């Protein structure tokens, strides 16, 4: 037993016994003191007193016998990042991966035990959660308030219960939520999974829950977003459940996110960012903010590290294929739209089958079932409707093959992949891809291009003019490109320019990532 002994003064005269005891032992709750008095553990001037509301006189001697705290907690050493402290409370930054208080699955190595090692007065508070007034999940990082006395614990707990504490989190979530919004769905235990919570009607045990958010930033490819989330209630897993319910689970959330979203981060990307409250003893307004740990920034940056998609385009004879071949020799995976179309036009190709059905009496297929390109060209020159239908079909099929190529190369870890697409702008493909490709235009004067075409392909002048007329003028096409490469020299010079282009892309990717990192840091500073 621990004995509390005090002599009353004139200031104590007329006060209730439990109030006088509370002033002498502020680390104990008034309820705990009342219980001890009613249990017969109090004497005044040697006589038992069991009335907690007994009036005190000056000059009395009060003795209160208290049982030793029955906590089994053991103080432990460990790193603590303290944002602020006084004799009443501590504001700390809990790292991800650290459990707040002991539980059956984690009986030791908890935040509470580290706090007990630094602040032994917490041992005067009974229970396995001394000083804890709110909690963060093990995988959630950020600000946590801890009371150092029982009285301050009660006052802070009451402030949380009255929703007088402003709590704001940072969350990386899948997809693109609305710019701002709220969720008021009740939350309760999952009906079948014991370790999960869920949106549950109040009629089935769900409790009211209120979550607000504001979208701070969205990734360029719109796969995920950064939210500032405020919770007005403190239900278990509230943010995780509400956002998953809305179709925007937290990146890395092993409990509520699908596997592909889990894989985007090493843990659930949730950080207790800001908190505002009234000091339990002084009544002063208090506000704290804490930036997230590095893993949140790194997860955002890594999620934005998509394979660089490059389109190589240009007018006939400009050297698109030669430039693409230079990239291939430098180790870049490449795709040719012309090669894809050739396969579509070949025997049993999807385009050949369709053109054969559309041809009617006009023979557009060869003996082997492949498209007779010369016959098709003549037919399209005379029939604009046929030309539009053929281009629509072939371009759609080729675009699908290009998407499959890019997806495959990205899954293999390629940092950059290039596709030669002569009619990229004419087919309006510039609006078709996410992330948006970097477009390289290969530029060469028309007389030089015409000489190359005649020498390499044997096209007559009227065919050259017809093909050129179906495309954007070179000046317009080059103006729409992100990068223009002049091909007015030798093949060796063109490959040197391909090498220079790759080096510029690497430098640009690095610069873009550095700029993104600075932008994100500014959002939460």
Active site residues: 137
What's the distance, CA 459 to chain centroid?
Answer: 54
Contacts of 208 by beta carbon, 8 Å cutoff, 6+ apart: 184, 186, 202, 233
319 is annotated as contributing to ligand binding: yes
Contacts of 8 by beta carbon, 8 Å cutoff, 6+ apart: 20, 56, 57, 58, 59, 60, 61, 62
Q: Comparing C-alpha atoms, which of 147, 185, 178 is closest to residue 165? A: 147
178 is annotated as contributing to ligand binding: no
User: Which element (helix H / strand E) includes 275?
Assistant: strand 270-278
Task: Tell me which DSSP letter residue 362 carries.
Answer: S
Tokens of 420: 């030669």
299 is annotated as contributing to ligand binding: no
174 is annotated as contributing to ligand binding: no
DSSP-H helix ranges across 346-445:
350-358, 373-382, 384-411
Contacts of 398 by beta carbon, 8 Å cutoff, 6+ apart: 337, 340, 341, 344
Provide the β-strand partners of residue 312: 420, 440
What's the distance, CA 258 to chain centroid?
Answer: 14
Expressed in percent and rounded to 5, the helix, strand and coil fractions of the chain are 40, 20, 40
Question: HSE (CB half, 13 Å, CA atoms) of 364?
Answer: 23
419 is annotated as contributing to ligand binding: no
193 is annotated as contributing to ligand binding: no
| Known binding residues | 317-322
| Known binding residues for ATP | 317-322
């Amino acid at each position: 037993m621990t004995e509390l002994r005090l002599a009353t003064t004139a200031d104590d005269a007329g006060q209730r016994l439990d109030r006088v005891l509370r002033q002498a032992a502020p680390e104990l709750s008034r309820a705990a003191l009342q219980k001890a008095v009613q249990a017969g553990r109090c004497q005044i001037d040697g006589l038992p007193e069991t009335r907690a509301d007994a009036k005190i006189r000056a000059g009395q001697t009060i003795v209160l016998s208290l049982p030793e705290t029955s906590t089994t907690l053991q103080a432990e050493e460990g790193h603590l990042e303290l944002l602020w402290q006084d004799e009443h409370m501590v504001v700390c930054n809990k790292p991800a991966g650290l459990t707040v208080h002991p539980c059956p699955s984690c009986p030791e190595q908890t935040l509470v035990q580290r706090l007990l090692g630094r602040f032994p007065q917490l041992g005067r508070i009974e229970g396995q959660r001394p000083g804890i007034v709110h909690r963060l999940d093990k995988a959630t990082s950020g600000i946590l308030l801890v009371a150092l006395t029982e009285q301050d614990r009660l006052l802070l707990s009451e402030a949380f219960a009255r929703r007088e504490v402003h709590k704001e989190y940072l969350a990386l979530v899948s997809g693109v939520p609305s710019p701002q919004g709220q969720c008021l769905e009740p939350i309760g235990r999952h009906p079948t999974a014991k370790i999960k919570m869920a949106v549950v009607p109040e009629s089935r045990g769900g409790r009211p829950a209120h979550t607000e958010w504001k979208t701070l930033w969205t990734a360029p490819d719109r796969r995920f977003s950064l939210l500032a989330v405020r919770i007005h209630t403190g239900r278990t897993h509230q943010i995780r459940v509400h956002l998953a319910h809305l179709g925007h689970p937290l990146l890395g959330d092993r409990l509520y996110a699908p596997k592909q979203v889990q894989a985007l981060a090493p843990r659930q990307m949730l950080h207790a960012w800001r908190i505002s409250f009234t000091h339990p003893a002084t009544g002063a307004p208090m506000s704290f903010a804490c930036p997230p740990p590095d893993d949140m920034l790194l997860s955002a940056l890594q999620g934005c590290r998509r394979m660089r998609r490059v389109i190589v385009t240009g007018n006939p004879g400009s050297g698109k294929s030669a430039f693409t071949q230079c990239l291939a020799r430098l180790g870049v995976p490449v795709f040719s739209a012309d090669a894809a179309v050739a396969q579509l036009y070949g025997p049993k190709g999807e385009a050949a089958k369709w053109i054969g059905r559309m041809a009617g009496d006009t023979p557009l297929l060869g003996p082997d079932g492949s498209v007779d390109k010369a016959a098709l060209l003549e037919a399209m020159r005379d029939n604009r409707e046929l030309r539009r239908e053929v281009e629509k079909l072939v371009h759609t099929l080729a675009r699908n093959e290009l998407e499959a190529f890019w997806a495959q190369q990205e899954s293999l870890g390629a940092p950059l992949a290039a596709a030669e697409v002569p009619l990229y702008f004419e087919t309006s493909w510039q609006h078709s891809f996410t992330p948006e490709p970097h477009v390289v235009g290969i530029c060469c004067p028309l007389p030089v291009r015409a000489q190359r075409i005649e020498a390499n392909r044997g096209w007559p002048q009227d065919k050259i003019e017809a093909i050129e007329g179906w495309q954007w003028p070179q000046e317009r096409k080059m103006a729409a490109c992100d990068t223009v490469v002049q091909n007015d020299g030798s093949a060796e010079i063109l490959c040197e320019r391909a090498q220079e282009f790759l080096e510029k892309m690497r430098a640009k990717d690095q610069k873009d990532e550095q700029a993104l990192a600075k932008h994100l840091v500014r959002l939460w500073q």
